[in-house]
Amino acid sequence: MEANDRVRVRRHPERGDYSAETIHQILDEAYYCHVGFASRGQSVVLPTTHARVGDVLYLHGAAASAMLNAASDAPICLTATILDGLVLARSVYHHSMNYRSVVVFGVAREVTDETEKRMALEALVEHVVPGRSKDARPPTGTELASTRVLRLAIGESSAKIRTGPPKDSEADHALDVWAGVVPLHLETSAPTPDPEIRPGIPVPDYLRGLGSARRNG
Ligand SMILES: Cc1cc2nc3c(=O)[nH]c(=O)nc-3n(C[C@H](O)[C@H](O)[C@H](O)COP(=O)(O)OP(=O)(O)OC[C@H]3O[C@@H](n4cnc5c(N)ncnc54)[C@H](O)[C@@H]3O)c2cc1C
């Protein structure tokens, strides 16, 4: 993708990446995103779930959602972040984080076509737990009507990636202070069955190794 003036990373430009492959990978690995929009003269940024299908991101929520209402047909900014490590420098000044993040600018549009809406809802479930949509009951007509889906083309977008150790000044290397990186990653624990679950239903295979499968694409 082309880096235009709006998405060109100026602070640490060497960390900018505009390739669709990188941007898609980060969006796919991140469980959720934040959507920034204007609401009655106020900037609002709210966390929500997303799913990518090709060059399009889908968002969903209650038909009455104020966020989806304000974001529909409006210029929005969506960000997704994966935290990879805490970067501890010898100086307070150089403390940082290792991360992969994406920013997408665009105008979100409501999906009204029923086929696309159903496909988007399936993609949202698959984004969180691949394999789940084959198992779970599809939405009824009433559930579909009470759900709003927005589509946002991944056009103007950027990724920014920080990796590696702290960047202390040469003089600070002489300090008697531990410095380095504490790696971070999301991990799933053993699934806890719903107390109301019918006896004899096993934990599905697609839940095994969910976290690591996601990290490894
Ligand atoms: C987990 C995390 C922690 C951070 N902590 C800090 C902090 O404490 N202080 C701090 O100053 N910055 C922090 N950053 C970096 C921050 O996101 C900005 O990149 C930085 O502040 C520069 O902002 P700017 O407005 O000068 O960006 P500019 O470089 O002027 O932004 C221009 C364009 O570059 C792109 N861009 C900028 N930042 C990002 C990004 N993170 N991901 C994808 N595209 C981007 C956008 O398209 C943006 O419109 C952190 C980032 C992450 C992911």
For the chain, domain boundaries: 13-85+95-165
Q: Which class is 13-85+95-165 in CATH? A: mainly beta
Let me know how long the chain is: 217
Q: Is a pLDDT exceeding 70 seen at residue 216?
A: no
- pLDDT per residue as tens digits for the range 104-119: 999 999 999 999 999 9
Q: 136 C-alpha to center of ligand 1: Å?
A: 38
Nearest to 81 by CA among 166, 13, 162: 162
Closest ligand 1 atom to 9 CA: 34
Mean model confidence pLDDT for the chain: 95
Residue 84 and residue 98 in contact, taking contact as beta carbons nearer than 8 Å: yes
- pLDDT per residue as tens digits for the range 68-96: 999 999 999 999 999 999 999 999 999 99
Q: 9 C-alpha to center of ligand 1: Å?
A: 8
CA distances from residue 55 to 38, 50, 63, 101 in whole angstroms, order as listed:
24, 13, 24, 17
Residue 79 and residue 103 in contact, taking contact as beta carbons nearer than 8 Å: yes
